[in-house]
Amino acid sequence: MNAPVSLSCPCGSGLRSARCCSLDASSLPPPESTRHLVPLVERAVQAHRQGANDTAERLCLDVLEMAPDRPGALLVLYQIRKDQGKHAAAEALIRRVVLFDPNNFLATNELALLLMAKGALAEAEIHARNAVRIAPENPQAHNLMGMIMTEAQRPQIGEFHYRRVLELAGNRDPILLANLAWCLKNQGRMEEGRALYRESVAAAPGIRQTLLGWARLEEADRKFDAAAEILDQMDKQWPDDPGVLLSRAVLLGRMKGYDEALAVLDRIAALTSDGRLGPTELSEKGRLLDQMGRYDDAFEAFLEGKRLARELSGNQYQDFAADTLIQRLRGFFTAGRLRTLPRARVRSDVAQPILVLGFPRSGTTLVEQTLSAHSRIVAGDELPLIHDITSIMPRMLNSPLVYPEALAELWMGDQRDGLDNLRDYYLQKVGQMGILEPGAAWFTDKMPLNEMQLGLIALLFPEAPLIHVIRHPLDVMVSAISNHFTHGFFCSSALETAALHYVRVMDLVQHYRSEMALRYLPIRYEDMIEDQEATVRSMLDFIGEDFEARCLQFHENQRYARTASYAQVTEKLYDRSRFRYRHYRRHLEPVIPILQPVIERLGYTVD
């Protein structure tokens, strides 16, 4: 019997709420008392296998009404809801399987994949690691880690796991080779990636995702003709494939074929049932329209893209979480407390970090490309390590508290060198990532919004140069609305929340700077455009390195930056992105009052 509609769980599982998301685990009957339901579960599994989904569903609901923790029934119902596209229900059900049966490899694998698809990479990583713990010699477990770590911007760790898959599987599976190729592409190792794509395609010529990845590699490596050739081949095999078409549109955009690119996007829209584009296509369309000077149309596309992305992913700005963390950081990092805390000692035996700070899309990639063109500086890209340290700190410091309060352990006699351990964790991970090159004295870490952790960074690396890239806040907003990024508690899911988060972060930076001495240099993006050499000189001066002229030719820096702005930083400095907001002045009206105090504080005006 199905539960009455009024009591159904809002997740859409079909179970009663009390048997689903509001389940009280303490009220569950002991497993032995529901053993008689096992035959029903087996029938459900069999029905599902035979395609009798209605029967399977009814059986599962019946079983779970009596025994909500039966993993078999949960798994079948999960599969049914997943196939129906009921994502919230599927997620709730698979989470419950993992909760009640933590050693279930299949469920752990599914949950990790689901979380990865959602963009919840940190949580996906937890389950991927569990998968390896459950089955350390299972190639799929390592494949999962490979995928998640590559997406989580730790491709070096991902590469390790992909190579473990190669060892364990004993063969060179073409899909795995393609995954590894993508991982290498994300490390800027284009030639190696290209070779693997070639090998993969030779072994299995008709894999769409492989070819798409290869085309993206060629496009990123500025081999536009090669990319076009792959897409031409794909067109023949998969005419009107939306993924191929989108890649084509991106490629045409980079080759400045804006009209053609728009036409390709129109073709994608025409192919959908409702004639509309998805969030990624809409953002691309907006960027093309922006390049063409059709700003009203561009903004409309950006906004619609954001709206759709919110609708599909369910990701909205985590207002409360952001506010709470910022308040706690402000409360903890005060001049009085900082006086009582030790600092990590500076290591002279390894390269030291240069923190390139800034809101996403404020010009951090440009600064990193510029600096890493220097002979003694290598690019570390967006290192997730400071964030990792905030997570592992309670364990490392043996604290019952969480970050930042866990730093109170530094007052204990046995944790006085706790910061040295955390510093070494960071440096060790950097070493593992293969970032460091012989002769490098510095590496950059340009994880956006690391400025939220300025206090912690200054404790860990008291002498590290902190280069904060400042840009007109309205320009930052234009970039935030025209790109999808998940940093900052999903603040960029809407224009207003991006503005709110920006102000919160800048206020927090102000707090840190008032309360503590920092090796901090603000660099204006606009100065990089207007007076590049002076700005680069002042950055290198500040770091303590001699000026090298090749830093001015950063666009010739062959390193591939994996962030959204990669296409821009491979071009010479151009003026078009400076004060770009003026084209969108009317559209940005709602956020000007929110940003005005920071605009003034930074010395900008709204023209």
Partner 1 sequence: MEEIPPPAAAIGAMVPVPLTELFTIAAEYERAGGLEQADRLLERMLEASPRQADTLHLAGIVSFRLGRHEKSLRQMQEAIEYGVDTALYLRNICEVYRSLGRLDEALATARRAVELSPSDPLCLHNIAIIHYERLEIEESIACAERALMMNPGLAGAHFELAEALLLKGDWARGWDEYEWRFQISGAAPLMPPTDKPQWDGTPFSDATLLLIADQGFGDVIQFGRYIPWAAERCPDIVVACPSEMEPVLRQLHPGLRMFQNWQLCPPYRAYAALSGLPRLHGTRVDNVPVQGPYLRADPARVAVWRDRLDSLSPRSYRRVGIVWAGRPTHNNDRRRSTTLASFAPIAALPRTALVSLQKGPSTDQAGRYFGRAPLINVGAEIQDYDDTMALLACLDVVVTVDTSVGHLAAAMGVPAWIMLATAPDWRWLLTRDDSPWYPSVRLFRQSQARQWGDVMLRVADALRERFAGSAGPLA
Least separation, in Å, of the C-beta of 178 and partner 1? 46
Residue 327 in the binding site for partner 1 (CB under 8 A): no
Helix (H, G, I), strand (E, B) or coil at 188: coil
Which residues are 522's β-sheet partners? 468
Residue 510 in the binding site for partner 1 (CB under 8 A): yes
From CA 76, how far away is CA 585, in angstroms rounded? 52
Q: Which of residues 372-401 bind partner 1 (CB under 8 A)?
A: none
Residue 330 in the binding site for partner 1 (CB under 8 A): no
Q: Count of residues for the chain?
A: 607
Of the residues 521, 552, 592, 606, which one makes contact with partner 1 according to CB under 8 A: 521
Least separation, in Å, of the C-beta of 495 and partner 1? 24
Residue 514 in the binding site for partner 1 (CB under 8 A): yes
Residue 469 in the binding site for partner 1 (CB under 8 A): no
Least separation, in Å, of the C-beta of 338 and partner 1? 7
Of the residues 518, 561, 569, 594, which one makes contact with partner 1 according to CB under 8 A: 518
From CA 362, how far away is CA 128, in angstroms rounded? 32
Q: Which run of H or of E encompasses 377? A: strand 377-378
Which residues are 521's β-sheet partners? 467
Cβ proximity to partner 1, 314 vs 331, nearer residue? 331
Stretch that binds partner 1, among 87-95, 313-321, 555-563, 598-606 (CB under 8 A): 598-606
Residue 547 in the binding site for partner 1 (CB under 8 A): no
Of the residues 335, 392, 401, 412, which one makes contact with partner 1 according to CB under 8 A: 335
Of the residues 12, 394, 431, 522, which one makes contact with partner 1 according to CB under 8 A: 522
Q: Are 75 and 95 in contact (CB under 8 A)?
A: no
Q: Are 459 and 466 in contact (CB under 8 A)?
A: no
Stretch that binds partner 1, among 164-172, 482-490, 506-514, 549-557 (CB under 8 A): 506-514
Residue 578 in the binding site for partner 1 (CB under 8 A): no
From CA 34, how far away is CA 267, in angstroms rounded? 55
Least separation, in Å, of the C-beta of 205 and partner 1? 55
With CB under 8 A, what is the number of residues at the site for partner 1? 32
Helix (H, G, I), strand (E, B) or coil at 18: helix
Of the residues 541, 556, 571, 575, which one makes contact with partner 1 according to CB under 8 A: 541
Cβ proximity to partner 1, 426 vs 512, nearer residue? 512
Taking CA atoms, 541 is separated from 436, 439, 521, 534, in Å, by 22, 19, 11, 10
Q: Are 246 and 280 in contact (CB under 8 A)?
A: yes
Residue 463 in the binding site for partner 1 (CB under 8 A): yes
Of the residues 97, 234, 474, 516, which one makes contact with partner 1 according to CB under 8 A: 516
* DSSP states of 199-268: HHHHHSTT-HHHHHHHHHHHHHTT-HHHHHHHHHHHHHHSTT-HHHHHHHHHHHHHTT-HHHHHHHHHHH
Cβ proximity to partner 1, 26 vs 514, nearer residue? 514
E strands along 297-357, which residues? 352-357
Residue 339 in the binding site for partner 1 (CB under 8 A): yes
Residue 476 in the binding site for partner 1 (CB under 8 A): no
Cβ proximity to partner 1, 266 vs 527, nearer residue? 527
Residue 331 in the binding site for partner 1 (CB under 8 A): no
Taking CA atoms, 429 is separated from 128, 317, 380, in Å, by 18, 30, 11
What sign does the CA torsion over 336, 337, 340, 345 have?
negative
Residue 347 in the binding site for partner 1 (CB under 8 A): no
Residue 353 in the binding site for partner 1 (CB under 8 A): no
Least separation, in Å, of the C-beta of 327 and partner 1? 17
Of the residues 44, 75, 309, 509, which one makes contact with partner 1 according to CB under 8 A: 509
Closest CA to 45 of 66, 70, 8: 70
Stretch that binds partner 1, among 113-121, 247-255, 412-420, 533-541 (CB under 8 A): 533-541
Stretch that binds partner 1, among 143-151, 161-169, 431-439, 504-512 (CB under 8 A): 504-512
Q: Are 142 and 162 in contact (CB under 8 A)?
A: yes
Q: Which residues of 53-82 are buried (b: 16+ CB within 10 A; e: fewer)?
A: eeebbbbbbbbbbebbbbbbbbbbbbbbbb
Residue 177 burial (C-beta neighbours within 10 Å; 0-12, 13-18, 19+): buried
Least separation, in Å, of the C-beta of 600 and partner 1? 9
DSSP state of 356: E
Least separation, in Å, of the C-beta of 341 and partner 1? 12
Stretch that binds partner 1, among 26-34, 194-202, 338-346, 363-371 (CB under 8 A): 338-346
From CA 467, how far away is CA 522, in angstroms rounded? 6
Stretch that binds partner 1, among 258-266, 273-281, 382-390, 534-542 (CB under 8 A): 534-542
Residue 474 in the binding site for partner 1 (CB under 8 A): no
Of the residues 544, 571, 576, 590, which one makes contact with partner 1 according to CB under 8 A: 544
Q: Which run of H or of E encompasses 468? A: strand 466-470
Taking CA atoms, 316 is separated from 304, 359, 602, in Å, by 15, 18, 28
**CA angle, corner 312, sides to 307 and 318, nearest 5?**
70
Least separation, in Å, of the C-beta of 483 and partner 1? 25
Of the residues 105, 224, 542, 579, which one makes contact with partner 1 according to CB under 8 A: 542
Residues that bind partner 1 (CB under 8 A): 335, 338-339, 346, 462-463, 470, 509-522, 524, 534, 537-538, 541-544, 601-603
